[in-house]
């Protein structure tokens, strides 16, 4: 399956999204949850405790301020994206097609279904590599899905050293 994931991720390098496709994404404000409560009561010596509550996010929550083709470095991460590290989230998107239709243990979740394998590269923040936790699988769908799991920043590079993806999710379920 690793080969399938690498193939799907490599496809992202050559994918393009029409400019108006972003307009179809749900606004981030509509997907905020009560999990954004203040952490003012946390001790300054200890890292803030992570909630086990599921937080709805969108691809807008992990968007980077960088031009297409610019190299990624971790200092480009926004405070919002950094705050999501290690939290349980649910994000909606489309499963990038692969040769396998059922029993998926790994797949790439993309922002919209306008992705294809032709044209200039897609933005790094428009995909999430999902690795299902042991015992869980997913089935390919042409419809949008909601994937829940633990969000991580994980750099996936191609054979040429270029970034293919920078976000990952330990998938607990796909609806």
How many Å apart are CA 111 and CA 65, to the nearest integer?
Answer: 17
Label the pairing between strands 55-57 and 88-95: parallel
**Is 81 among the domain residues?**
yes
Q: Work out the burial of residue 138: count CB atoms within 10 Å of its CB; fewer than 13 is exposed, 13-18 middle, 19 or more buried.
A: buried
Between residues 32 and 147, the one the model is more confident about = 147
Instruction: Provide the domain count of the chain.
Output: 1
What's the domain range around 131? 2-16+55-174
Highest mean pLDDT among 17-26, 38-47, 70-79: 70-79
Give the residue among 7, 38, 12 at the shortest CA–CA distance from 125.
12
162, part of any domain: yes
Provide the CATH number for the domain around residue 84: 2.40.50
In a domain, 66, yes or no: yes
Q: Find the mean pLDDT for residues 142-157.
A: 96
- On whether residue 133 sits in a domain, the answer given is yes
Cα 175 to Cα 81, 91, 125, 141, 144: the distances in Å are: 23, 10, 22, 10, 9
Q: Nearest-5° angle of CA 133, CA 49, CA 83?
A: 75
Dist CA 109 CA 168 (whole Å): 9
Q: Give pLDDT tens digits for 60-90.
A: 999 998 877 778 889 999 999 999 999 999 9
Q: Is residue 33 part of a domain?
A: no
Average pLDDT, the chain: 76
């Amino acid at each position: 399956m690793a080969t399938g994931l690498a193939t799907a991720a490599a496809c992202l390098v050559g994918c393009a999204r029409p400019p108006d496709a972003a307009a179809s994404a749900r606004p981030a404000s509509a997907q905020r949850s009560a999990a954004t409560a203040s952490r003012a009561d946390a001790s300054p010596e200890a890292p803030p405790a992570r909630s086990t509550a599921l937080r709805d996010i969108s691809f807008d929550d992990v968007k980077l301020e960088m031009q297409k083709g610019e190299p990624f470095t971790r200092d480009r991460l926004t405070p919002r994206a950094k705050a999501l590290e290690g939290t349980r989230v649910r994000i909606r998107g489309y499963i990038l097609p692969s040769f396998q239709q059922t029993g998926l243990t790994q797949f790439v979740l993309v922002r919209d279904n306008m992705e294809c394998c032709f044209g200039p590269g897609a933005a790094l923040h428009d995909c999430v590599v999902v690795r299902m936790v042991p015992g869980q699988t997913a089935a390919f769908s042409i419809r949008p899905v909601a994937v829940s799991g633990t969000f991580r920043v994980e750099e996936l590079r191609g054979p040429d050293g270029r970034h293919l993806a920078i976000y990952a999710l330990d998938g607990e379920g796909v609806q």
